[in-house]
Amino acid sequence: MARNKFDIDENLESPFDINHFKRAMIYIRKQKSPMILAFTLSALSAAVGLSAPLIMQHIVDVVIPDKAVGALVGWSALILFTIVASVIMATYRSRIMTRVGQDIIFDIRTDLFKHLQELPFQYYDDRPQGKILIRVVNYVNSVSDVLSNGIINFVLEIVNLLFIAIFMFMVNAKLSLLILAGLPVFLALMILIKNGQRRAWQAVSNKSSNVNAYLQESISGIRVTQIFTREQYNEGTFTRLAGNFRKAWMHAQLYNGFIPFAVDNLATIVSTSIYLVGLLILGPEEVTFGVIIAMTSYAARFWQPILNLSNLYNSFINAVAYLERIFETLDEPVTVSDIPDALELPPIKGDVAFDDVTFAYEPGRNILEHLSFKVKAGESIALVGPTGAGKTTVVNLISRFYNITGGRILVDGYDINQVTLKSLRSQMGIMLQDSFIFSGTILDNIRYGRLDATEEEVIAAAKAVRAHDFIQEFEMGYKTEVNERGSKLSQGQRQLISFARTLLANPRILILDEATSSIDAKTERLLQEGLNELLKGRTSFIIAHRLSTVKNCDRIMYVADKGVAEAGSHDELIARRGLYYRLYSAQKMEA
């Protein structure tokens, strides 16, 4: 799929509309009380600050001509008080909104993470991890300030404009109309650049996502990069992606820079017009020097909210590109989920049945077709066959990691589509082909799927899979800290720890996907001793390319041609001299 490449821009699933903003209001309403307090403080601070030009007009036109020194000191002290009071209220408001912004980040990011935990494997199969991570981290950071300070500041600047207009008309109506005359020009400019600005910031979002996706991929595959000396080539790829981001960013900044440029020039023209009209046209009889000072001050103050509103508009346009992708992620359907009134699967024995099962990862390209078989509780089933035939798909469907296209899968007679995922998967032990180790201690990793397990139970599981001896060789034993993906451990050690983690859950159905692929022959023999005991009484599905490891399974299924081509015990299949016989003979010759 195109979305699964780091150098392909993401296309939005749906265009932005007002409903996205309404959804964002859900997070804002949670912070209603502190935001109301912050807005009140902002409004009071603005009102107090706007009284300063009126006081200054009175000082220039009345106090100074009267040479009232005492009054001058008093009015000056009042101006100082308005400044101090305004700063105190603004500071307290800033503290409140910092906390509100972080609370909004927390809520959005928590919702995203929760939703990502529920999305099916298919979602992660189709997307680079880096393009998922950037939505949870960078995009949420980008929208938080707009959803907190942005909303309050938008309303506040509108109120400021109204206050300023009232104060202006109180001083001089004609000059006030002159100041307002520049507003239609500014609005026309904003309308002209609106669509181009939004497209520019969507491009920035796309290029940023591409850089993040490639960076994540490169870090994950750094060992392969150095093995094949691809450093220089990869640097070229990253430079190209980073260059595309830089180009998109600079293009978007042209729009951002245009608005302050337009506002500053309009403000300068208006301020100049006040002097020209006030002094040359209206004359000193109608316009005093104090009025000129007050009106130029209000003109500067009038265009400051305009500039702030334009910057808020810029921020909103930027945030829209990110908000679209955040909600796109939250809108991803959880296709594998509990149906309404799903049943709790009771403790199972382990019977498994595929009843005419068909499955496709993509429509029209079936991996399995009309597959049917039955497994009795306690049986061990080996799945063998060529790569890509669908062996892993079969075991993934038992755990319902994907929804089947047709047919039914039954566990102890229960259709797995009708039971809760938790009650199904909690009774299965699954060791996937990728032995993922989490950051933390070895003890934590083994206990990952069963947090209430005692240390003695953890050690018993490790001993069963023959992991105990090498764990004890570490200075801290089971308390040894390991890095994400277990970089301090060998591949075989990672698999043994993962195996202990799976077995500790005491599952009724055990699924092992290439569980011994990275274990040396000696360790494999030791592991098999523990497995022979652990497999007793459990239904098990074992995928292995080394057929020597599955010879003793109750039944071997050769998966090919979108189904099970042949099935039977090792001796039965050898006697048939069919597909399994040819595969086994080829491996024996290679050995």
Average pLDDT, integer, range 244-266 = 83
The residue type of 455 is E
Average pLDDT along the chain: 81
Residues 398-408, mean pLDDT to the nearest whole number: 93
Average pLDDT over residues 111-119: 89
Neighbouring residues of 243: CB distance < 8 A, sequence distance ≥ 6: none
Phi and psi for 285 in degrees, rounded to 5? Answer: -65, -35
Biggest CA pair distance of the chain = 121
Q: H or E element: which one contains 540? A: strand 539-543
pLDDT at 516: 62
pLDDT digits (tens, 9 = 90+) for 58-72: 777 777 777 777 788
Instruction: For strands 555-560 and 563-568, give the pairing.
Output: antiparallel
For helices 491-504 and 455-464, angle between their N-to-C axes, nearest 10 degrees: 120
Q: What DSSP character marks residue 64?
A: T
Label residue 417 by pLDDT band (50, 70, 90): very high
Backbone angles phi, psi at 375, to 5 degrees: -125, 130
282-287: average pLDDT: 69
The per-residue pLDDT for range 44-94, each reduced to its tens digit, is 887 777 777 777 777 777 777 777 777 888 888 888 888 888 888 888 887
**Identity at 305, one-letter amino acid code:** P
Which residues does residue 354 pair with via DSSP β-bridges, in sequence order? Answer: 373, 409
CA separation, residue 321 to residues 101, 206, 328 (Å): 19, 9, 11
Place of tokens 């109120």: 159
At 1, the pLDDT band (50, 70, 90 cuts) reads very low
Query: What is d(CA 153, CA 316) in angstroms, rounded to the nearest whole number?
Result: 12
Q: What integer pLDDT is reported at residue 18 of this predicted model?
A: 64
Q: Quick one: what percent of the chain has pLDDT higher than 70? A: 89
- Write the CB contacts of 403 (distance below 8 Å, at least 6 apart in sequence): 120, 335, 336, 417
Of residues 570 and 43, more confidently modeled: 570
Burial of residue 354 (CB within 10 Å: 0-12, 13-18, 19+) is buried
**Selection from 423, 443, 538, 552 nearest residue 500 by Cα:** 443
Q: What is the pLDDT of residues 425-446, one digit of tens each?
A: 889 887 766 677 888 889 988 8
Q: How far apart are CA 7 and CA 24, in angstroms?
A: 30
Q: Could you tell me if 493 and 445 are in contact, meaning their C-beta atoms sit under 8 angstroms apart?
A: no
Cβ(377)–Cβ(349) below 8 Å: yes
The whole-angstrom separation of Cα 459 and Cα 457 is 5
Domains in the chain, ordered, with CATH?
17-330 (1.20.1560.10)
Take residue 458 and report the two structure tokens written for it: 């953890």
Question: 508 and 427 in contact (C-beta within 8 Å)?
Answer: yes
Cα separations in angstroms, 343 against 107, 405, 416, 506: 31, 21, 9, 22
Contact between 568 and 379 (Cβ < 8 Å): no
Strands 406-411 and 352-362: antiparallel
Q: Which helix (H) or strand (E) holds 70?
A: helix 69-118
Its sign, for the CA torsion 259, 262, 268, 272, is negative
Residues 6 or more apart whose CB falls under 8 angstroms from that of 45 comprise: 85, 86, 89, 90, 93
The alpha carbon of 502 is separated from its chain's Cα centroid by a whole number of angstroms, namely 28
**Has residue 2 got a pLDDT over 50?**
no
Measured CA to CA, the distance from residue 528 to residue 499 in angstroms comes to 12
pLDDT band at 285 (very low <50, low <70, confident <90, very high): low
> Tens digit of pLDDT for each residue in 290-329?
777 777 777 777 777 877 777 777 677 667 767 777 888 8
Q: Is 352 left (phi over 0), alpha (psi -120 to 50) or beta?
A: beta
Structural contact between residues 306 and 183, judged by C-beta atoms closer than 8 angstroms? yes
The answer to whether 482 and 442 are in contact (CB under 8 A) is yes
3-state secondary structure of 411: strand
Do 35 and 93 meet the contact criterion of CB atoms below 8 Å apart? no
pTM here is 0.66
Q: What's the order of all strands across the beta sheet hosting 555-560?
A: 428-431, 509-513, 539-543, 380-384, 555-560, 563-568
Place of tokens 């595309």: 244
3-state secondary structure of 285: coil
Query: 329: how many CB neighbours lie within 10 A of its CB?
Result: 21
- Per-residue pLDDT of 437-480, as tens digits, reads 888 889 988 898 788 889 999 998 888 888 898 899 988 889 98
